[in-house]
């Protein structure tokens, strides 16, 4: 672990925030990201970097930056590669701040990103997570669209039962209460059969925060979300679908149902292991919510597999009774989901 710099004093009443940055062969894009961290109008209390066994010049760039950064920088240079999510979770557990803001090596933060997250946190001390938004750009940082990402964000504070499944939110737009990442074993993360891996650091953070309390979504862009062919999460270029909507919807519903079932099992395990009684009760309630969601999503999937019209309509009615479309259910997909399923049920 390499440490540089003096720790900035935390402003009175302002929560301490660590930035957790993970790198792996990021020499091409890392310097603009580092420069944007230095320009923050409210500086972090520290930057903790987990370099995942880079074999290019990334580590030397990081070490050079650490010597001149306006905040303390700690670098863990890993000799063996952990992989994306394990590296992030290990780096986050090395952070000392009350809150942890994730950073990816190829994005660029707006100057006010950290200040805006801290303002939300300071105004509502009960929050466990702040989700911010971004603007998509290409590899040269040229805007690809003026639309905010994620698009379906529901800005504002969210309390139980939170938002519909599934959450798709980039980790680098999250600032999470540190105790969630310190207190709960990341090895307990749900395993997703379709991915052949456990869920990532962003989805894990959201799962914990949504189960235990409230989170907030801001309504303004806070970063450039750089998309390029080498990006781990893809280029986000439109791809013409090779399958019909029924096949796509069925695959999506099955994936979501699998996730809800895995999340329910994980939350039940966390309820058994939690030290605080309040945490245990909230995990148990969340496990039941996800279990019901898995059942409702399974009913929706049945619409696409049932051979006859009466069976398809029966599956849709059963899904509706379980909150698959409307109401406060965790899996309520709304009118659009209902319309898609109705079309499938009627064979349109």
pLDDT per position as a tens digit, 275-314: 999 999 999 999 999 999 999 999 999 999 999 999 999 9
Give the pLDDT of residue 239.
Answer: 45
Q: For the chain, what percent of residues have pLDDT higher than 90?
A: 73
Contact of 319 with 296, CB cutoff 8 Å: yes
- More confident site: 187 or 167: 187
DSSP states of 226-237: E--TT-TT----
**Is the pLDDT score of 327 beyond 80?**
no
Contact of 45 with 10, CB cutoff 8 Å: yes
Per-residue pLDDT averaged across 93-105, rounded? 97
- Taking only the tens place, the pLDDT of each residue in 248-271 is 999 999 999 999 999 999 999 999
Per-residue pLDDT averaged across 176-198, rounded? 93
Task: Report residue 232's pLDDT band, with 50, 70 and 90 as the boundaries.
Answer: low
DSSP states of 54-114: --SSHHHHHHHHHHH-SS-EEEEE-SS---HHHHHHHHHHT--SSEEEEEETT-EE-TTHH
Per-residue pLDDT averaged across 192-221, rounded? 92
Per-residue pLDDT averaged across 24-40, rounded? 97
Strand partners, 21: 49, 103
Q: Identify the CA nearest to 51 among candidates 85, 22, 73, 27.
A: 22
Contacts with 21 (C-beta within 8 Å, 6 or more apart), sequence order:
33, 37, 47, 48, 49, 50, 91, 102, 103, 104, 105
Q: For the chain, what percent of residues have pLDDT higher than 70?
A: 90
Give the pLDDT of residue 160.
Answer: 73
Give the pLDDT of residue 145.
Answer: 77
Query: pTM of the entire structure?
Result: 0.89
Contact of 193 with 258, CB cutoff 8 Å: yes
Q: What are phi and psi of 226, to 5 degrees?
A: -75, 125
Per-residue pLDDT averaged across 36-47, rounded? 98
**Is the pLDDT score of 94 beyond 70?**
yes
C-alpha to C-alpha distance for 109 and 219, rounded to whole angstroms: 16
């Amino acid at each position: 672990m390499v440490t540089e710099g003096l720790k900035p004093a935390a402003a009175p009443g302002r929560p301490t925030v660590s930035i957790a940055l993970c790198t792996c062969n990021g020499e091409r894009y890392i310097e603009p990201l580092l420069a944007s961290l230095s320009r923050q109008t409210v500086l972090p209390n520290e930057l903790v970097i987990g370099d995942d066994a880079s074999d290019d010049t990334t580590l030397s760039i990081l070490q050079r930056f650490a010597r001149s950064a306006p905040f303390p920088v700690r670098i863990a240079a890993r000799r063996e590669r952990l992989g994306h999510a394990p590296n992030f979770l290990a780096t986050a557990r090395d952070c000392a701040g009350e809150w942890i803001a994730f950073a990816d090596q190829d994005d660029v933060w707006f100057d006010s990103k950290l200040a805006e997250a801290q303002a939300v946190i300071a105004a509502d001390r009960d929050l466990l997570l702040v989700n911010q938004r971004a603007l998509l750009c290409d590899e040269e940082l040229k805007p690809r669209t003026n639309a905010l990402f994620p698009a379906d964000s529901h800005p504002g504070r969210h309390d139980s039962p939170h938002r519909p499944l599934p959450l798709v939110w980039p980790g680098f737009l999250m600032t999470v209460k540190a105790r969630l990442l310190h207190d709960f074993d990341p090895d307990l993360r749900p395993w997703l059969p379709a991915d052949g891996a456990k869920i990532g650091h962003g989805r894990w953070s959201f799962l914990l925060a949504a189960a235990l309390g409230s989170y907030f979504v801001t309504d303004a862009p806070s970063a450039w979300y750089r998309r390029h062919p080498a990006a781990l999460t893809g280029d986000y270029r439109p791809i013409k679908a090779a399958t019909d909507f029924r096949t796509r919807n069925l695959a999506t519903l099955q994936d979501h149902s699998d996730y809800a079932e895995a999340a329910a099992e994980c939350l039940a395990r966390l309820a058994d292991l939690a030290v605080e009684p309040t945490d245990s009760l909230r995990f148990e309630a969340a496990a039941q919510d996800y279990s019901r969601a898995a059942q409702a999503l399974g009913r929706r999937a049945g619409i696409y597999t049932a051979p006859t019209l009466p069976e398809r309509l029966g599956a849709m009615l059963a899904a509706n009774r379980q909150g698959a479309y409307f109401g406060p259910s965790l899996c309520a997909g709304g009118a659009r989901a209902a319309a898609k399923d109705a079309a499938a049920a009627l064979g349109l």
